[in-house]
Structure 1
Amino acid sequence: MVSPTKLKSVDFYRKIPRDLTEASLSGAGLSIVAALVMMLLFGMELSSYLEVTTTTAVVVDKSSDGDFLRIDFNISFPALSCEFASLDVNDVLGTNRLNITKTVRKFPIDPHLKATGGEFHSGLASHHINHGEEIKQEFPDGAIQLTNGGFQSLSHHFPLLIVNFNAPWCYWSNRLKPSWEKAATIIKQRYNPDTDGRVLLGSVDCTEEPALCRRNHIQGYPSIRIFRKGNDLKEDHGHHEHESYYGDRDTESIVKMVDELVAPIHPETHKLALDWGISNDTAKLLKKAPVTGGCRVEGYVRVKKVPGNLVISAHSGAHSFDSSQMNMSHVVTHLSFGRMIDTRLLTDLKRLLPYLGQSHDKLDEKAFINQHEFGANVTIEHYLQIVKTEVITRRYGQEHSLTEEHEYTAHSSITQTYYLPVAKFHFELSPMQILITENPKSFSHFITNLCAIIGGVFTVAGIIDSVLHNTIRLIKKVELGKNI
């Protein structure tokens, strides 16, 4: 067993008896200063330890989210009707997806971008239209030609006014015209406007009556509108609420549709019966017509990670469009690429934002307006260069991805075209990615620096105290020698 005396012999920190030590005012002041310096340096070292340093590198994109990229969007078109608004995607590999509806929603809006109704379902407008056999016989006394002046009076006079808005240059309008005129002749004989007075079929030439067509938000030709007068009549700034017909355009289908609409109206009083009596098949082909000419397109699509285009335009397999009247002005409420930042990372946002370029919302809340009258064949294009930024952390001895952000730069242009105007978002992904690695300091490094700070300040303060003390003693000796 080792004796206490032998054990004391290995003491590195031998003590001087208190009786042999002397306290001084200079030593006390220096001790206070040293303590304050230690506290200051400790705070600075702690702040440095808690602060995460980063290294940035450009590497080949090694995305963990597969070969597809998600695009989220919310874009408002004040002058494009939801009837014909179509979102298409194509890329350099030959992929061409037209009128995507599964993940895309459309809402009618007014010129101030406010929603005017529920979601518009475009399935009714996209089914195959039957035009029937070609009719060579002419029916000059069929549908009445309506003008801007007589339209309002007739819509208030007849319980049902069914109107074919068309254009002479339109292929589909010319396909419909024979069937429409024949159906109008049959309906006129069956429901005489003078004696029965329940229904009237009319036509409007939109090249002759552009104001009337614009007031009813006609953007595709032909468009069949149904104006009602009766218990279901509602006034909206002086205009009747009305419906659109999306069914087949052969004579038989048109006559059947009119018969079912007329059936619930009493011929004597011209009032609607309580039971409309419209079949489910006909009801599916009727839809409330737009009370405004705008549309908000929102949703998401998944595209391949190759250069491609997101195109929004007017599209229909049975309508024609006057490109000079199409206005593709739009407001981008939101457009982003890739996955959104997880809500669990919200607490780290303040720490992450300096690393991210904050350009993932480059087009958000920006308006792109065509100033030309009625459109003038103007296409609005956006060229987007996308680069992925990934932040990796090495906390707790493990390395894992903290967040992935797809940022982009955007360049927009407004150009005139000979084709149908569109809003095009051309996107191209960089094959490289920005890799930001967080490098937190180790705890052992923090403790080492802390010990160096305490020991260093203590040692330096001791040296200063020793020099100061010896200097004072030397001065006193010199003064004492002079006195002697």
Structure 2
Amino acid sequence: MISSSKLKSVDFYRKIPRDLTEASLSGAGLSIIAALSMMFLFGMELNNYLTVSTMTSIVVDRSSDGEFLRIDFNISFPALSCEFASVDVSDVLGTNRLNITKTVRKFSIDPNLVPTGSEYHAGPIPIVNKHGDDFEEVDNDGADFLTSENFEKYSHRYSILVVNFFAPWCYWSNRLKPSWEKAAKIMKERYDPEIDGRILMGKVDCTQEADLCRRHHIQGYPSIRIFRKGSDVKESHGHHEHESYYGERDTESLVAAMETLVAPVPRDSHKLELEDKSNHSETAKRPAPLTSGCRIEGFVRVKKVPGNLVISAHSGAHSFDPSQINVSHVISHFSFGKKLSQRMLSEAKRLSPYIGGNHDPLMGRSYVTNHDHSNANVTIEHYLQVVKTQIASIRYSQENKLLEEYEYTAHASLVHSIYIPAAKFHFELSPMQVLVTGVPKSFSHFITNVCAIIGGVFTVAGILDSILHNTIRLVKKVELGKQF
């Protein structure tokens, strides 16, 4: 066995008896400074070890063909009615989806962007299959012509007034005309306007009565509106909307719809209204309902290829006058990619602090055109260049693999066109992506640096203490020599 004396011979740290050591004030001061220096340098090294280190690189985006990109948006259109507002998506691969409603919500708003009711639930505009009597010649004695001068009188005189707002140049208006006139004649025979007065079918030529049609926010032709006691606005639990007819347009279907409308109205309602009117010299005019605008919010999923998100007036059985469509809008939110949770967003910012700085450059931007003759038929186009950033996080590597964030640049232009104006968002994803990778730090390197700090400070402090101690002793010897 190795004796204890032999083991002691390999001691690197030989001890000096305490009686042979001497404490000094200078040594105590240097010890305190050395201890504080060690603590300070240890704290800095620990902070550097805990700070995330990342490596940024530009790589080719290797998204597979089956991957989809989510687009979230919240856009307000002060002059585009929810009645015809349509969200469409298309791309270079031939995808073309019209009037998306499943993931999109609409809210009627006034010109000041203030909601005028709850969510608009009209859904997709039905496709009209029956137009009835085609283009045969008919008399114009069926439906009464209404103008700005007599509209208020007619709308308050009859319990139900059903009005066809049309344009002579409109294909769909001309298809409706024969069956509308026949249905109006049949209803007059069944419910004499002078005796019964519960229902009347009328018509308004919007090319002659532009102000009247504008006051009732007519944007598509033909628009069939139902007026009850002077108003076409139906209110139900805070929900306001125009009461419109979207059914089939043949004579039989129109007559059946009119019978359904008049059935709940008491036969003597017309007489009661006449008696009530006798006490008033003129019936008060009701203001036009503030439902000319629409706020559209929600999301769509698109393929990761160049494409378009288009919002415009659309219908399969209506015509539109391009000069009367105004797509001015205010963007509250527009972003790409799925929403990250607050925890994941914090992790992304921890790894890459600049993330989110340019996340939604369109937020709060307004694109408004003065809708006069020179600014009619204006399409507003947005060109968006989208770049994907992937962040490889150690914490989320097992749970979510990579955190994805999309940023984009946006440019807008106004385009005059003969077609129906629209708000178009052209998006194109960059073929390159930014990859941010977290670089883990070695714990052994941290321990090595800590040891170097402690040993280095201890050694330097010892050297300084020795120099100081010897200097003081030398000074004292010189002073003693002068005394003798």
**TM-score w.r.t. length of structure 2:** 0.89
Instruction: Give the Å deviation of 1:99.
Output: 1.6
Residues 112 and 192 of structure 1, relative CA distance in 2, 3 Å threshold: same
Instruction: Give the Å deviation of 1:397.
Output: 11
Residues 376 and 268 of structure 1, relative CA distance in 2, 3 Å threshold: same
Paired residue for 1:459? 459
Runs of at least 4 residues of structure 1 off by over 6 A?
230-236, 395-400
CA distance in structure 1 between the aligned counterparts of 2:434 and 2:459, rounded to whole angstroms: 47
Instruction: Give the Å deviation of 1:84.
Output: 0.9
What secondary structure is seen at the aligned counterpart in 2 of 1:161?
Answer: strand
Instruction: Give the Å deviation of 1:346.
Output: 4.7
Q: Contact between 2:99 and 2:124, CA under 8 Å: does it hold in 1?
A: no
Q: Contact between 1:164 and 1:223, CA under 8 Å: does it hold in 2?
A: yes
Instruction: Give the Å deviation of 1:78.
Output: 1.5
CA distance in structure 2 between the aligned counterparts of 1:124 and 1:473, rounded to whole angstroms: 100
Paired residue for 2:333? 334
CA distance in structure 2 between the aligned counterparts of 1:132 and 1:398, rounded to whole angstroms: 63
1:197 equivalenced with 2:197 (yes/no): yes
* Superposition map of 1:9-158 within 5 A: 9-63=9-63, 66-123=66-123, 125-158=125-158
Paired residue for 2:223? 223
* Between 426-435 and 327-336, the greater mean CA deviation after superposition: 327-336
Instruction: Give the Å deviation of 1:349.
Output: 5.6
Q: Deviations over 1:283-337 (max 9, x none)?
A: xxxxxx9850112222222211111111111111111111111110112222111
CA distance in structure 2 between the aligned counterparts of 1:82 and 1:241, rounded to whole angstroms: 9
Residues 469 and 60 of structure 1, relative CA distance in 2, 3 Å threshold: same
Q: Contact between 1:393 and 1:399, CA under 8 Å: does it hold in 2?
A: no
Unaligned runs of 5+ in 1: 273-288
Q: Deviations over 1:164-221 (max 9, x none)?
A: 1111221111221222122212222221111111111111111222221122111101
Residues 298 and 270 of structure 1, relative CA distance in 2, 3 Å threshold: same
Cα RMSD (Å) of the superposition?
2.8
Q: Deviations over 1:335-363 (max 9, x none)?
A: 11112113432543652461415222121
Instruction: Give the Å deviation of 1:123.
Output: 4.5
What amino acid is aligned across from residue 357 of structure 2 in structure 1?
A: Q
Residues 50 and 347 of structure 1, relative CA distance in 2, 3 Å threshold: same
Instruction: Give the Å deviation of 1:402.
Output: 4.9
Residues 81 and 129 of structure 1, relative CA distance in 2, 3 Å threshold: farther
Q: Contact between 1:394 and 1:400, CA under 8 Å: does it hold in 2?
A: no
Q: Contact between 1:384 and 1:411, CA under 8 Å: does it hold in 2?
A: yes
Paired residue for 1:297? 296
Instruction: Give the Å deviation of 1:124.
Output: 5.9
Paired residue for 1:432? 432
Residues 367 and 232 of structure 1, relative CA distance in 2, 3 Å threshold: closer
What secondary structure is seen at the aligned counterpart in 2 of 1:126?
Answer: coil
CA distance in structure 1 between the aligned counterparts of 2:166 and 2:447, rounded to whole angstroms: 84
Q: Contact between 2:233 and 2:289, CA under 8 Å: does it hold in 1?
A: no
What secondary structure is seen at the aligned counterpart in 2 of 1:226?
Answer: strand
Instruction: Give the Å deviation of 1:476.
Output: 2.6
* Superposition map of 1:276-425 within 5 A: 292-348=291-347, 350-352=349-351, 354-373=353-372, 376-394=376-394, 401-425=401-425
Paired residue for 2:256? 256
* Between 180-189 and 415-424, the greater mean CA deviation after superposition: 180-189
What secondary structure is seen at the aligned counterpart in 2 of 1:117?
Answer: strand
**TM-score w.r.t. length of structure 1:** 0.89
Residues 104 and 380 of structure 1, relative CA distance in 2, 3 Å threshold: same
CA distance in structure 1 between the aligned counterparts of 2:399 and 2:117, rounded to whole angstroms: 50
Instruction: Give the Å deviation of 1:122.
Output: 4.3
CA distance in structure 2 between the aligned counterparts of 1:17 and 1:395, rounded to whole angstroms: 53
What secondary structure is seen at the aligned counterpart in 1 of 2:72?
Answer: strand
Q: Contact between 1:393 and 1:439, CA under 8 Å: does it hold in 2?
A: no
CA distance in structure 2 between the aligned counterparts of 1:183 and 1:26, rounded to whole angstroms: 114
Residues 435 and 202 of structure 1, relative CA distance in 2, 3 Å threshold: same
What secondary structure is seen at the aligned counterpart in 2 of 1:125?
Answer: coil
What secondary structure is seen at the aligned counterpart in 1 of 2:253?
Answer: helix
Instruction: Give the Å deviation of 1:230.
Output: 9.6
CA distance in structure 1 between the aligned counterparts of 2:218 and 2:178, rounded to whole angstroms: 21
Q: Deviations over 1:4-28 (max 9, x none)?
A: 3222222110011111111111111
Q: How many residues are aligned here?
A: 465
Q: Identity rate of aligned residues, in percent?
A: 69
1:184 equivalenced with 2:181 (yes/no): no
